[in-house]
């Protein structure tokens, strides 16, 4: 099971808490998935409304680790301020850091992300940066103090899966001992299984579950796929090949002329 900043988590699945049709459906999705971490929008809780209080009570009842996020932040100052608010609201140093650089693709701003990560790590935060699969950006984030990286699979909410398998595989190979989590863009359990087959430690998703016709069933499907992918990676799978190879031995068979 994955270990983030010295804390072992019982599941490779991180599950978001937005867009569910009801609190009961959200709770059932977490129960059936066994997700070990819930990501929570800081902005929703910062409103201080009665509905926000009820939501926070529900999250506490889930009995999972809380990972606040700076979703929607487009500048370093905004992201740092939101993270500081999160530490007060949720009483945790964990923060999923998002600094969005492109409004259409919601691609992270690599320059702002590294700067914000350096500030927050210096303030004692345990930063989970939402980033791309770029190796240079990854190096800069590690230099800033991050001990986990969360590269995107595809743009947030698209359900496209792993758009750049080569890049994700290269990131895993370059940092063999670093906790890596595929964050965003997954739409099907098979996408999650693929991430685990590449050797990733976990996945983070929200829309694929929350917007499914049966969110709880989809959450369970992702959990099972993650286990399958983890087992496959650990089993040292065969390498793909260009030529066919018979699976039935031909030695000892009769040959008719």
CATH hierarchy code of domain 3-235: 3.20.20.70
- Phi, psi angle pair for 166, to nearest 5°: -60, -45
Set 87, 96, 126, 230: catalytic member: 96
| 106: number of Cβ within 10 Å | 19
Q: Which residues are annotated as a binding site?
A: 157, 184-185, 206-207
Active-site residue flag, 126? no
CA-closest candidate to residue 218, choices 2, 1, 11, 35: 35
Q: Which residues are annotated as a binding site for 1-deoxy-D-xylulose 5-phosphate?
A: 157, 184-185, 206-207
| 41: number of Cβ within 10 Å | 19
Q: What are the pLDDT digits (tens) for 35-69? A: 999 999 887 555 544 455 677 788 888 889 999 99
Per the rule left: phi > 0, alpha: psi between -120 and 50, beta: everything else, 5 is: left
| 89: number of Cβ within 10 Å | 17
Mean pLDDT of 89-94: 92
Q: Which two tokens stand for residue 119?
A: 């500030």
Average pLDDT, the chain: 92
Contact 187, 216 (CB under 8 A): no
Q: How far is CA 66 from CA 110, 125, 238, in A?
A: 25, 14, 38
Q: What are the pLDDT digits (tens) for 126-143? A: 999 999 999 999 999 999
pLDDT attached to residue 49: 47
CA-closest candidate to residue 121, choices 137, 138, 141: 141
- Phi, psi angle pair for 108, to nearest 5°: -60, 145
Residues 6+ apart with CB under 8 A from 188: 159, 161, 208
Domain ranges of the chain: 3-235
CA-closest candidate to residue 183, choices 161, 213, 151: 151
Dist. CA 229–CA 226, nearest whole Å: 5
Q: Which two tokens stand for residue 257?
A: 């002329």
DSSP 237: P
Q: What are the pLDDT digits (tens) for 200-223? A: 999 999 999 999 999 999 999 999
Helix (H) or strand (E) holding 191: helix 189-197
Dist. CA 250–CA 252, nearest whole Å: 6
Alpha helices of the chain — where are they, by DSSP H? 23-33, 42-46, 50-62, 76-90, 110-122, 135-144, 165-174, 189-197, 207-210, 215-234
């Amino acid at each position: 099971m994955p270990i983030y900043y010295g804390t072992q988590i019982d599941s490779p699945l991180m599950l978001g808490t937005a867009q569910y049709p009801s609190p009961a459906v959200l709770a059932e999705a977490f129960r059936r998935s066994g997700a070990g971490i819930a990501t929570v929008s800081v902005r929703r809780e910062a409103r201080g409304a009665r509905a926000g209080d009820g939501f926070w009570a529900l999250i506490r009842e889930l009995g999972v680790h809380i990972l606040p996020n700076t979703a929607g932040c487009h500048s370093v100052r905004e992201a740092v301020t939101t993270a500081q608010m999160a530490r007060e609201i949720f009483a945790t140093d964990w923060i999923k850091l998002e600094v969005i650089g492109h409004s259409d693709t919601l691609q992270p701003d690599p320059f702002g992300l590294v700067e914000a990560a350096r500030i927050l790590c210096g303030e004692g935060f345990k930063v989970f940066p939402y980033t791309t699969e770029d190796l240079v950006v990854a190096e800069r984030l590690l230099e800033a103090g991050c001990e986990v990286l969360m590269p995107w699979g595809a743009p947030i909410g698209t359900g496209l899966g792993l758009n750049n398998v080569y890049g994700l595989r290269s990131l895993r190979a370059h940092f063999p001992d670093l906790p890596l989590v595929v964050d965003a863009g997954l739409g099907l359990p098979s996408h999650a299984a693929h991430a685990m087959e590449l050797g990733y430690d976990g996945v983070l998703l929200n829309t694929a579950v929350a917007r499914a016709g049966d969110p709880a069933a989809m959450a369970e499907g992702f959990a099972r796929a993650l286990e399958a992918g983890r087992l496959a990676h650990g089993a040292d799978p065969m390498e793909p090949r260009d030529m066919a190879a018979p699976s039935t031995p031909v030695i000892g068979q009769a040959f008719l002329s």
